[in-house]
Amino acid sequence: MSIDHYTYRVTWSPEDGEHVGLCAELPSLSWLAATPEDALAGIRQVATDVVADMQAGGEAIPEPLAEKHYSGEFRVRIPPQLHRALAMQAAEQGVSLNRLASAKLAG
């Protein structure tokens, strides 16, 4: 497993007035920097250090999201009234409820 496969994101933090680097697999970590490039380099280094510490301590290392298998299915609970409204909308459009929900989530 390589931290190169982790999901990194850099965004602007108005509160801090700097760019912040984040790692989805290690959500408690962040790195502030003046440039996006430095924020990315910083969060990558922090992730490397934390994963090394976790390995040394015998802790489980988070699997990269990109390497996980996704079935394409998940359950969502919604109020019965919304379920009815969506079922009616799907019927009116001539599509399955699943197709309608997928389109709404993708949109």
| Alpha-carbon distance values, 35 to 16, 30, 61, 65, 69 (Å) | 13, 14, 29, 26, 34
Residue 76, pLDDT > 80, answer yes
> Mean pLDDT across the chain, nearest whole number?
95
pLDDT tens for residues 41-75? 999 999 999 999 999 999 999 999 999 999 999 99
Predicted model pTM: 0.75
